[in-house]
């Protein structure tokens, strides 16, 4: 069975449109992930008469946990890989993978990368970029020396009048406990009970209070390698006492 994980990520922050173009958002997503992550900004021509996507689609294809992913500011991030264990082959021929997302995706190119492309902080939150921002937050915490032992992205699905939507958050463990982080809302994580380590639904409910969660599922996630020259930092903000989770807005 083909590997497909459509995530519809970022609908909760879709109001923060800003003035950035789709190409700028794709480049900002690439900057957030950093140079260590394999990624390519693509310009895809869409020939479909009826499609969710515009006639020209600026997107980012990137690697995470041995799979390829596809980000656009139109509808967030979804899996591009069709199967597990064929990463090199898929990188060498993106055309069939793109057509699987939309049959109108028939031609693509690599747009030139101009000097002064937007950096990760430009323009505020990345439009429909919660998946990318969670990965960037994980990389940042590891880079600053936090002893992350395990990390997973969590896709939280809910029903809306316009159909099923979703949002992605980060969960991770350190010697201090289990933490939940939604970087689109706050840079500060919340401590949650360790008993929730495998309880995707409990974590989703804590992440999105007041929203009726239809489904929650884990997303393949790799913990970045630590820089041995970076000393562990005292993350005092992660030490809030008590087991009752509080949502930081």
Cα angle vertex 91, ends 58, 73, to 5°?
20
Question: Both tokens of residue 40?
Answer: 């390519």
Strands (E), the chain: 39-46, 56-64, 67-72, 76-79, 105-109, 150-160, 163-174, 177-181, 190-192, 213-219
Q: Would you say how long the chain is, in residues?
A: 249
Q: Enter the pTM of the model.
A: 0.83
What does each of the 249 residues of the chain score in pLDDT, given as a tens digit? 333 333 444 444 444 444 579 999 999 999 999 999 999 999 999 999 999 999 999 999 999 999 999 999 999 999 999 999 999 999 999 999 999 999 999 999 998 876 555 444 455 789 999 999 999 999 999 999 999 999 999 999 999 988 899 999 999 999 999 999 999 999 999 999 999 999 999 999 999 999 999 999 999 999 998 765 554 444 544 443 333 322 222
CA nearest neighbour of 170 among 214, 206, 144: 206
């Amino acid at each position: 069975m083909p590997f497909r994980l459509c995530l519809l990520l970022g609908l909760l922050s879709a109001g923060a449109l800003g003035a950035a173009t789709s190409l700028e958002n794709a480049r900002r997503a690439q900057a957030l992930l950093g140079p260590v992550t394999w990624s390519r900004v693509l310009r895809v021509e869409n020939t479909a008469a009826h499609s969710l996507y515009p006639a020209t689609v600026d997107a980012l294809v990137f690697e995470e946990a041995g799979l390829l992913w596809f980000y656009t500011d139109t509808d967030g991030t979804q899996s591009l890989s069709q199967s597990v264990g064929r990463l090199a082959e898929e990188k060498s021929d993106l055309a069939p993978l793109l057509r699987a997302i939309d049959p109108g995706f028939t031609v693509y190119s690599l747009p030139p990368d101009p000097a002064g492309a937007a950096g990760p902080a430009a323009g505020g939150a990345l439009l429909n970029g919660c998946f990318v921002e969670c990965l960037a937050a994980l990389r940042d915490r590891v880079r600053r020396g936090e002893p992350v032992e395990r990390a997973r992205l969590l896709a939280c699905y809910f029903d809306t009048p316009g159909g099923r939507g979703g949002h992605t958050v980060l969960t991770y463990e350190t010697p201090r406990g289990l933490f939940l982080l939604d970087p689109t809302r706050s840079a500060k994580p919340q401590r949650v009970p360790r008993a929730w380590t495998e309880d995707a639904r409990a974590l989703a409910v804590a992440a999105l209070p007041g929203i009726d969660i239809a489904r929650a599922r884990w997303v393949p996630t790799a913990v970045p390698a630590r820089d041995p020259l970076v000393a562990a930092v005292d993350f005092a903000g992660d030490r809030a006492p008590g087991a009752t989770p509080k949502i930081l807005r």
